[in-house]
Amino acid sequence: MYKRKISKESLCLIFVVICGLVSAGIVLSDSNAPSRYFCLFLLPIWFSVISFVFFCITPRSIYRNIGVVAVVLQLFIRNVVTPAVMVLGNYVSIFQSGTNDMTAKAVFLMAYEVLWCYAAVYICSKRPYEPFIRNRYQKLYKGKHLGKVLFVLSALCIALWFLQPAVRATYRTIIDIIGTGIKDNPYRHSDFLSTGSLARVASTLFVFLFSFLRIAVPGYIIVKLQSKKRSAFHLIISLVIISLQFFFISGAVAATLIAAGMLLLLVMDLYPKWRGLLLSVLIATSVLVTILVFSLNYHNVGSWYGIHSLQEYLSHWLNSYITGVDNVASIYQMPQENKLQIFIHTMIAPIPFRSTLLPGTTDWTTVNTLFTSLPRLSGQIVSTVGTGQFFFTEVFAPIF
């Protein structure tokens, strides 16, 4: 008798739905939950329902798109995993001052974001993925002058690296982090170099160029290797090139992880035969990095915030770094005034050499500085959907 084989995508959907129901059950079973979380159970249920609906109306092939998998995975963590962990972790979070109304608004805002994200996936499913992505990379890296431009910019970065000690102090290696046991690099060149000085301009130029070149140059080399021959040897060289990212870790460790992740996604697209193996490498690397970060942060965070268990630490961590519901709810505490001015300041803030070209802008209030000025939120990450709500209201919040 012929037995129909269940696809991997269908198994993943079943897993998501079961996890969503389990998470909702855990939330509903907590009779001692703070009153502001009265509708928290809706997040995992809504995510499961929307995942099922869009799975039925989109081609199965779209869920082999690594980018789509990454989007769905982070939504799964925020809407399914985090609520359950919050219950098990006694709702420990640095964002503790929200009202019932704020938390309810945050729940519905996150649910609305899920709908928008899946709608975007549905729209993208209407165009062929693999030919579009692969052809785009090939056209980008086959330009006659691109290699020369990257070489000149790389030479400039190398010269700045050796000429400016402040630049070298900005970056550390994974070996340094493990050896010192300190995850975050407290050094910032802008804190030690005066505004407008040649050293400050040179250091800022390096940071700006290197943020671009650390992805563009390895990507260029990886595509060139694959275009010559799609072999296991070239695949190994590509992975070695990606691993070099961990020898240039800036103050924001996440920037290095994002760069390495983007390059690994590129390799997975260029070498579809080894996609399963590469996905295993990505998962293993993510697990190792998570364990490393946890081991370096657990003791310090526990002493700072009075955390006494793994569950409480994870509840705190997920709300802070994966922008859980408590994080999103905090956006409603921000002053509702001068939004146009703050929006303009926020858009101008990333401009390179801003403090030199526009010295009067250094004290401008941006959405980030306003958010971190709230009680106990210094150094926290503001959510993108929360930022969108602040500028564009709930209806257009997912645009940001």
pLDDT at 98: 64
pLDDT at 321: 80
Contact assessment for residue 323 and residue 109, using Cβ atoms and an 8 Å cutoff: no
Q: Return all residues near 111 (Cβ < 8 A) that are at least 6 apart.
A: 42, 43, 46, 47, 79
pLDDT at 299: 61
Q: How high is the mean pLDDT in each 10-residue block of the chain (400 residues)?
A: 63 88 93 89 94 87 76 91 91 74 91 92 72 52 73 90 79 74 60 65 82 89 86 87 86 77 83 78 72 63 66 82 88 85 83 66 78 76 88 86
Contact assessment for residue 47 and residue 20, using Cβ atoms and an 8 Å cutoff: yes
Residue 93 and residue 102: Cα distance in Å, rounded?
15
Q: Return all residues near 100 (Cβ < 8 A) that are at least 6 apart.
A: 35, 36, 38
pLDDT at 137: 55
The token duo for 195 is 């505004």
Residue 65 and residue 329: Cα distance in Å, rounded?
31
pLDDT at 189: 57
Cα dihedral angle (158, 163, 166, 168), rounded to 10 degrees?
A: 40
Amino acid making up residue 261: G
What contacts 24+ positions apart, CB below 8 Å, involve 266-269? 266/137, 266/219, 266/222, 266/223, 267/222, 267/235, 267/238, 267/239, 267/242, 268/66, 269/66, 269/130, 269/133, 269/134, 269/137
Residue 36 and residue 20: Cα distance in Å, rounded?
21
CA 117, 120, 126, 132 torsion-angle sign:
negative
Residue 220 and residue 153: Cα distance in Å, rounded?
13
pLDDT at 173: 80
Residue that has been written with the tokens 């003791």 in this structure: 299
pTM: 0.76
pLDDT at 112: 94
